[in-house]
Amino acid sequence: MSNLSQPIWRKSSKSGNEGNCVEVADNLPGVVGVRDSKDPTGPALMFGPVAWQAFVAQLSEQH
């Protein structure tokens, strides 16, 4: 399991100002963290870099 103690969280550039955003931490070795911006102390999902790239690519194809 990767250490999530030093993530640098950022919101997507496509996020609006409604407060319904996810935040991503992609500065962690071997893992991409994803969390709900409304619950920053809540749980975070962890994806491997290849899985995260596939997820983002799939979203890009839908827009």
Total domains present in the chain: 1
Domain contains 1: no
Tell me, what DSSP letter sits at residue 49? H
Q: Is residue 4 part of a domain?
A: no
What one-character DSSP code corresponds to residue 13? T
- Report if residue 3 sits inside a domain: no
| 56 domain residue, yes or no | yes
pLDDT tens, residue by residue, 27-61: 999 999 999 988 989 999 999 999 999 998 998 88
Give the range of the structural domain holding residue 25, as residue numbers without chain letter.
10-62
Burial label, 24 (beta-carbon count in 10 A; 0-12, 13-18, 19+): buried
Residue 47 domain-assigned (yes or no): yes
In a domain, 42, yes or no: yes
Q: Is the pTM of this model over 0.75?
A: yes
Domain-located, residue 5: no
